[in-house]
Amino acid sequence: MSFDLDLDHRVGERRITLQCRTDAGLVALFAPSGAGKTSILNMVAGILTPDRGRIAVAGETLFDSAAGIDLPPERRRAGYVFQDGRLFPHKKVRANLLYGRHAEPPMPFEAVLDFLGIGHLLDRWPATLSGGEAQRVAIGRALLSGPRFLLMDEPLSSLDPSRREDILSVIERMKHDLAMPILYVSHDRAEVDRLADQIIPL
Amino acid sequence: MILSSEEWGVVLLSLQVSLVAVGLMLPFAFALAWLLARARFPGKLLIDAFVHLPLVVPPVVTGWLLLLLFGANGPLGGWLERTLGISLMFRWTGAALAAAIMAMPLMVRAMRLSIEGIDRRLELAARTLGAKPWRVFFTISLPLALPGILAGLVLGFARSIGEFGATITFVSDVPGETRTLPIAIYSALQVPGAETAVTRLAIVSVILSLAALVASEMLARRASGGRTNHVL
């Protein structure tokens, strides 16, 4: 089982629920904007606590309200790629990449640089990167933190169309090479059709 | 412009008092700023008002309250004397305490603003990358709040250099001990024919204040510009 999710969370008037048990490698949550997709990723990452439910990824239970399990985010080993990149503005690219350095990342540092083509950016400040460059660094930072699974929140949405293809092919290769469960959120049908092994409409 | 050795003493004493005041207040001001920016608790409004009190109460009242609390017979003054052997009355240490209290509102305000300005999503991103809360604090929150902390220090320093009312009420005017720049200027004004001394000390005051303002401006620019200067 890659993702075993049973979530129930109320935000103000809105109720976000999701039941899914799947063994697919790349699972896409597909819904229009504002349907609570990001909230679901936040719950899996541990930075939002569901009112009730259970979250298990790749056989490890991260949250279970009935059993009183709630791992803090730093112990969940989620590689979270945020919609806006969310690089640390006061650290250069190298320090951003190494922030979550883990003893056994799926790929060594040099390999990640090659894979994402970001070796020439190491001494730059995040503010000087283009959208595509920043998103690739964000992916690299997530990979180097030694994740057990990846969460990707509309990683293409902040990019201009010419850069999208670039990141799309990176994600396709990641899916191939890493054999790591990926929970992917998007409101773009074509994107989801191309990447996903399983699509879950919300 | 040549200062007499006595006037140099006044300048050095002022610097000493202000540096100690700001250093003393730094941890308290930061803790208060953090509390006011991040915590939610009943009575927060009251603490907020209390922090700002020295800004709006007449300084002579603040000095008098210090006298009540920290005087030889005051509850805190007696305790300090007995347990730590620190005496504040008519001492430069008392001047530093008065300056610290008067600088507190400005320091807390500047620090609080910068803490509130931290993008909390960055802190959450750091957590997902495996950082425990204390590591997030030292590697993300604190560095991002640093410009405001430095601005608070400089503002507090400038305020301390200019502190007069609470100081003279609390620790009086003791040459070489509590006679800081403003108090020295005030004393010189009481003496006929000391106009040149007043002028010299006033010029020093203006120079010190200007230096503090320029320093704070430079810190602010460095903080905002440093991370984008490779763009061209």
- Tell whether B229 is covered by a domain: no
List the single range of A103-112, A138-147, B91-100, B155-164 with lowest mean pLDDT.
A103-112
Cross-chain residue pair A90–B126, CB shorter than 8 Å:
no
Tell whether the model's pLDDT for residue B230 goes beyond 80. no
pLDDT over 70 for what percent of chain A? 100
Q: Find the mean pLDDT for residues A126-136.
A: 92
pLDDT at A14: 87
Which of A173-177, B156-160, B202-206 has the least mean pLDDT?
A: A173-177
B128·A102 Cβ contact <8 A: no
- Shortest alpha-carbon distance between residue A98 and chain B (Å): 10
- The overall average pLDDT reported for chain A is 91
B54: domain range?
5-224
Considering CB atoms only, which of A74, A125, A126 is closest to B131? A74
Per-residue pLDDT at B224 exceeds 90: no
Per-residue pLDDT at B111: 94
What angle do the packed helices B181-190 and B195-225 form, to 10 degrees? 160
**All domains in chain A, ordered by first residue:** 3-201 (3.40.50.300)
Task: Report ipTM (2 d.p.).
Answer: 0.92
Residue B229 has a pLDDT of 42
User: Does residue B77 belong to any structural domain of this protein?
Assistant: yes
Q: Say yes or no to pLDDT of A87 above 60.
A: yes
Q: What is the pLDDT of residue B52?
A: 95
The token pair that represents A162 in the structure block: 């010419």
Lowest mean pLDDT among A71-80, A126-135, B105-114, B211-220: B211-220
- What's the CA gap between B48 and B32, in Å, rounded? 9
Given a cut of 60, whether residue B225 has pLDDT beyond it is no
Of the candidates A130, A151, A88, A198, the one whose C-alpha atom is nearest the C-alpha of residue B125 is: A88
Would the CB atoms of A126 and B144 count as touching at under 8 Å?
A: no
What value does the mean pLDDT of chain B take? 90
pLDDT band at A159 (very low <50, low <70, confident <90, very high): confident
Residue A182: its pLDDT value, please? 95
Is B109 a domain residue?
yes
Q: Do B129 and A145 count as a contact with CB atoms less than 8 A apart?
A: yes
The more confidently predicted of residues B215 and A53 is A53
Which chain A residue's Cα is nearest to B147?
A90
Which residues of chain B does A145 touch, with a Cβ-Cβ cutoff of 8 Å? 128-130
Asked if the Cβ–Cβ distance from B126 to A77 is below 8 Å, we say: no
Residues of chain A found within 8 Å of residue B129, distances taken between Cβ atoms: 74, 99-100, 141-142, 145
Residues of B with CB under 8 A from a CB of A: 121-122, 124-132, 139-140, 143-144, 227-228, 230-231
Cβ pair B108, B33 in contact under 8 A? yes
pLDDT tens digits, residue range B46-90? 999 999 999 999 999 999 999 999 987 888 888 888 888 888 889
By the CB < 8 Å criterion, does A120 face chain B? no
pLDDT (mean) for B93-110: 96
To the nearest whole angstrom, how far is the Cα of B179 from the nearest Cα of chain A? 43
Q: What is the pLDDT of residue A163?
A: 79
Helix (H, G, I), strand (E, B) or coil at B169: helix
Secondary structure (3-state) at A183: strand
3-class state of residue A60 by DSSP: strand
Q: Do A88 and B231 touch (CB under 8 A)?
A: no
Q: Chain B residues with CB inside 8 Å of A141's CB? A: 129
Q: How confident is the model at residue B129 (pLDDT cuts 50, 70, 90)?
A: very high
Q: Please return the burial class of B7, using the count of CB atoms within 10 Å of its CB with bins 0-12, 13-18 and 19+.
A: middle
CA closest to B129 among chain A residues:
A100
Q: Which among B128, B132, B139 is the nearest to A45, CB-wise?
A: B128
Cross-chain CB nearest to B227 (options A89, A99, A146): A89
Q: Does B230 fall in a domain?
A: no
Average confidence (pLDDT) over A182-193: 91
Among the residue ranges A67-76, B8-17, B65-74, the one predicted with the least confidence is: B65-74
C-alpha distance from residue A41 to each of A27, A47, A151, A152, A202 (Å) = 12, 9, 7, 8, 13
Size of interface A-B (CB pairs under 8 A): 63
pLDDT band at A121 (very low <50, low <70, confident <90, very high): very high
Residue B77 belongs to domain with CATH number? 1.10.3720.10
Is residue A48 within 8 Å of residue A8, measured between CB atoms? no
Q: How many domains does chain B have?
A: 1
